[in-house]
């Protein structure tokens, strides 16, 4: 099975390449700028048409949450127009698209974990453009799997775990918000889940396998709880440590508003596909250890 991923250097794209390595019957190919540029729908269509994949993973996106507030037109062009083109190209080939979306489509007002059909209410420009992407993808390709994930981290690219470890190199204490709750999710687990979905779709592409699904780490915490865990694991692996000062959202002003609660229920994915991500603490420990080892002098 040939899987084509949009975006070359994104953390989920790189995780897909790593997780596919050595797996039988999987050819994982990535394509990104300049050849596939989400602001140029025709380049997206041509790049996908030419490669004739069996499945498209639409992972590339405008992901700079604060910057999107000042750059809404570009974020919308990329996250809705670009996503639509990728889904449409897959539809023309008659193949499914797995499209990555976000917990930031929710308002954060719900007390419990969000279900796939709960009302959306994005609080940020990024969230609104990703929601527009969901609508565009569903409209362009009936064979869509929209995967809302959250708080992704990995050994690759920019993410919260790497930011915390980098800050701890120069600071003994870091203020982190303790009143926003969600599911930290390893991008390597996201990639594993996508490979599981790809195999299930190839075996039996039944109607219940298409639609919106939540894929997130099992268990939840606040950003402060996430940071504390990162430093416990880092210290035990011989890496940097910083004390986490628990602060409120009001004490950490930012351009974009984040949901206070964006915990995602993953029961639908478990029911339909028989797959659930590991406990976030286990995956966090693995990735922090790996980052500490990679940073150690040889």
Ligand X SMILES: NC(=O)C1=CN([C@@H]2O[C@H](COP(=O)(O)OP(=O)(O)OC[C@H]3O[C@@H](n4cnc5c(N)ncnc54)[C@H](OP(=O)(O)O)[C@@H]3O)[C@@H](O)[C@H]2O)C=CC1
Q: Which parts of this chain interact with ligand X (CB under 6 A)? A: 7-13, 32-33, 36-39, 59-63, 78, 100, 102, 130, 149-152, 157
Which residue's CB atom is positioned nearest to ligand X?
A: 10
Q: Which does 38 bind (CB under 5 to 8 A by kind): ligand X, ligand TDO, none?
A: ligand X
Q: What x/- string results for residues 150 through 189 when contact with ligand TDO is judged by CB under 6 A? A: xxx-------x--x----------xxxx--x---------
191 binds ligand TDO (CB under 6 A): no
Q: Which does 163 bind (CB under 5 to 8 A by kind): ligand TDO, ligand X, none?
A: ligand TDO
Helix (H, G, I), strand (E, B) or coil at 33: coil
Q: Which does 8 bind (CB under 5 to 8 A by kind): ligand TDO, ligand X, none?
A: ligand X
Q: What x/- string results for residues 96 through 115 when contact with ligand TDO is judged by CB under 6 A? A: ------xxx-----------
Q: What is the 3-state secondary structure (H, E, C) of the chain?
A: CEEEEECCCCHHHHHHHHHHCCCCCCEEEEECCCCCCCCCHHHHHHHHHHHCCCEEEECCCCCCCCHHHHCHHHHHHHHHHHHHHHHHHHHHHCCCEEEEEEHHHCCCCCCCCECCCCCCCCCCHHHHHHHHHHHHHHHHCCCEEEEEECCEECCCCCCHHHHHHHHCCCCCEEEEECCCEECCEEHHHHHHHHHHHHHHHHHCCCHHHCEEEECCCECCEEHHHHHHHHHHHHHHCCCCCCEEEEECHHHCCCCCCCCCECCECCHHHHHHHCCCCCEHHHHHHHHHHHHHHHHCCC
126 catalytically annotated: yes
Cis preceding linkage at 34, omega within 30: yes
Beta bridge partners of 149: 102
Distance CA 67, CA 80 (A): 17
Q: By C-beta, is 8 or 235 nearer to ligand X?
A: 8
**Minimal distance, residue 101 CB to ligand X, in Å:** 6
**Minimal distance, residue 158 CB to ligand X, in Å:** 6
Q: Which does 223 bind (CB under 5 to 8 A by kind): ligand X, ligand TDO, none?
A: ligand TDO
**Minimal distance, residue 118 CB to ligand X, in Å:** 17
Q: What x/- string results for residues 30 through 69 when contact with ligand TDO is judged by CB under 6 A? A: ---------------------------------x-x----
Q: By C-beta, is 49 or 255 nearer to ligand TDO?
A: 255
- Of 62, 114, 126, 153, which residue is the catalytic one? 126
Q: Which does 180 bind (CB under 5 to 8 A by kind): ligand X, ligand TDO, none?
A: ligand TDO
Q: By C-beta, is 19 or 154 nearer to ligand TDO?
A: 154
Which residues lie closer than 8 Å to 52 by C-beta, 6 or more apart? 2, 93
Q: By C-beta, is 154 or 296 nearer to ligand X?
A: 154
Contact 256, 124 (CB under 8 A): yes
Using CB under 6 A as the criterion, which residues of the chain lie in contact with ligand TDO when the complex forms?
63, 65, 102-104, 150-152, 160, 163, 174-177, 180, 223, 252, 254, 258
Q: Catalytic positions, please?
A: 126
């Amino acid at each position: 099975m040939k899987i084509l991923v949009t975006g070359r250097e994104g953390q989920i794209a790189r995780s897909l390449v790593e997780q596919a390595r050595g797996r039988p019957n999987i050819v994982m190919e990535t394509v990104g700028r300049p050849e596939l540029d989400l602001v140029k729908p025709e380049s997206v269509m041509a790049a996908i048409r030419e490669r004739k994949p069996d499945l498209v993973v639409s992972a590339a996106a405008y992901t700079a949450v604060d910057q999107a507030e000042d750059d809404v037109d570009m974020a919308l062009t990329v996250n809705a127009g670009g996503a639509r083109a990728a889904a449409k190209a897959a539809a023309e080939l008659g193949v499914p698209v797995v499209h990555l979306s976000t917990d930031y489509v929710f308002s954060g007002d719900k007390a419990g974990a969000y279900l796939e059909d709960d009302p959306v209410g994005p609080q940020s420009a990024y969230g609104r453009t990703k929601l527009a992407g969901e609508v565009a993808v569903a409209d362009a390709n009936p064979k869509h799997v929209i995967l809302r994930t959250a708080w992704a981290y990995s050994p690759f690219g920019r993410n919260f775990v790497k930011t915390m470890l980098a800050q701890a190199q120069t600071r003994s204490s870091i203020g982190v918000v303790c009143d926003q709750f969600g599911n930290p999710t390893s991008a390597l687990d996201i990639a594993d889940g996508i490979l599981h979905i790809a195999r299930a779709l190839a075996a039996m592409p039944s109607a219940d396998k298409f639609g919106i699904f939540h894929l997130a780490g099992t268990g939840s915490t606040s950003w402060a709880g996430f940071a504390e865990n990162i430093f416990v694991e880092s210290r035990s692996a011989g890496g940097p440590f910083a004390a986490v000062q628990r602060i409120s959202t009001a004490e950490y002003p930012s351009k974009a508003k984040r949901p206070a609660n964006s915990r995602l229920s993953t029961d639908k994915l478990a029911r339909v596909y028989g797959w659930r991500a590991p406990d976030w603490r286990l995956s966090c420990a693995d990735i922090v250890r790996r980052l500490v080892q990679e940073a150690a002098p040889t």
